[in-house]
Chain A
């Protein structure tokens, strides 16, 4: 998988299905939550296919639990593979985290200790998943609120090492970097500057809730100025990367998310100069 540049997209949410099908907004691509479409049929599948007819799609999951010490959920992976064969997404992503253990699912994105033991475990599982799915996967850095005493390295070293050893790509969530940097007191700039560009497949932009002493990744607000600033720095380091506006709660009318997507596009053009939109990054020539 090369680092294909899809342009600027929006996370497809139930509230907007009808709007998108009726209005066909000028969005370069949509990201869908894989689990929302692991149903037999009905409205969700109808809208998925209706959107797929007009837009490239990326499948983004929340249940792979790649870092769990439970066995891989082969039933889930079979469903994911079936859905991917049906949708033909540009790529399939999930999170660098675990969601449960001993058969219990927290349905949350839980943190791992950044150490060799976790790296070896995760790399082995990523390789198994990639073999099962028959494709490289993309893993997202999650927001975190605690650090384990067992951590032996920084999060960015951990992410780079997994991408290198497992042969997977990174979905860099710019908001999550900001949230975690505030919660752990590290520099978001150091995080960005330390991630190896060749692994970065996609950006997420989202909002959060700021409680002063800590920040929670709620995805229920507009993208705030601090995240836009960090996005600009990310563009400077990584160049043109497929960028997505992600909103999971307090969902506004679609035009508001569209406006945020256009803002991302404008920032990219201001930062990197006008680009020729192409779906192949190798041809995405910066003109200045």
Chain B
């Protein structure tokens, strides 16, 4: 197996770094030379990875334009050889690459756009799970309401950003001119897959974010209501909590009401 391993090592080295060592082990002859034969593999390697980046970042590629997108693709492929079985995972470090690599790092919205596109992808093929109906909430005995815990559907993702990347994404998706990129205060979006298997997202206000984070950490409704006192007068708290839980159920974001 030693000889086989050497050959494989040399061919991979050629694909990654154009190392010419493998050429000595390629048979000459036929209508094309050894270099052309190797180039076919070299071109296919880059072309396949480029295709995946392109497919998974439809909006980012439009936003960057051809030249900058090529710069991203070439730089990322050279610096991040795939160690993944699935091509789906190859792009997982693109948001971080864009965040730290010039010239992209000077425009935070670019990295955020990439991260948002990946969040949508995770919601798209997250695990399936049953969805709770309103009747399940209304059938909880009154004395058990303080114990209620909300289990969210596996597709539910929270996306936190300090830019207007979602507005940029939406404008490009609708074939409109994207707004100028700006830095924002913190905005948290909830992303989920509907029962019709459509990926949707909406922004949340501070009390909803607080509630959802508490439930995600396993808090009970009683504990969540304590949290809400920071944002609402005491007499409104339970009404606000029920309103949000009801909306989550109606939007298809909840898998189980536990009590």
Contacts and interface: CB of A to CB of B under 8 A. Distances in A.
Interface of A: 35, 38-46, 63, 67-69, 73, 75-76, 98, 100-108, 110, 112-113, 117-118, 121, 145-151, 183-185, 213-214, 216
Contact of A117 (B3, B31, B128, B129): B3
Given A35-B86, A101-B9, A102-B9, A213 B1 contact: no
A146 B37 CA distance: 6
A13 to B, nearest CB: 13
Given A107-B48, A117-B4, A147-B27, A213 B84 contact: no
B82 A42 contact: no
A43 B7 contact: no
B11 interface: yes
A43 B86 contact: no
A107 B52 CA distance: 11
Nearest to A143: B40
Given A40-B125, A148-B25, A149-B26, A69 B1 contact: yes
B7 to A, nearest CB: 6
A150 B7 contact: yes
Contacts of B197: 42-43, 46
Given A41-B125, A42-B128, A42-B193, A107 B30 contact: no
Nearest to B31: A213
A184 B41 contact: no
Contact of A39 (B8, B45, B125): B125
A108 B25 contact: no
B5 interface: yes
Q: How large is the interface on B (under 10, 10 to 19, 20 to 34, 35 or more residues)?
A: 35 or more
19 contacts: A41-B129, A42-B125, A42-B155, A42-B193, A42-B197, A100-B12, A100-B82, A104-B83, A106-B45, A108-B45, A110-B41, A112-B4, A145-B41, A146-B37, A146-B41, A151-B27, A183-B30, A184-B30, A214-B32
Contact of B8 (A101, A105, A185): A101
Given A35-B88, A145-B40, A149-B25, 15 more contacts: A39-B88, A41-B154, A42-B124, A42-B128, A63-B86, A69-B5, A73-B85, A102-B12, A103-B83, A107-B48, A108-B48, A110-B41, A113-B4, A146-B38, A148-B7
Contacts of B94: none
B214 interface: no
B83 A214 contact: no
B100 interface: no
A76 B193 CA distance: 26
A113 B193 CA distance: 47
Interface string B1-33: 101110111011001100000000111011110
B181 interface: no
Contacts of A151: 27
Contacts of B5: 69, 101
A214 B39 CA distance: 12
B87 A107 contact: yes
A18 to B, nearest CB: 11
Given A41-B154, A76-B85, A104 B126 contact: no
Contacts of A112: 4
Contact of B124 (A43, A110, A117, A149): A43
A150 B126 contact: no
B70 to A, nearest CB: 19
Nearest to A47: B197
Q: Which of A46, A67, A108 has the most CB of B within 10 A?
A: A108
Nearest to B127: A40
A266 B187 CA distance: 60
A73 B7 CA distance: 20
Contact of B40 (A69, A98, A117, A216): A216
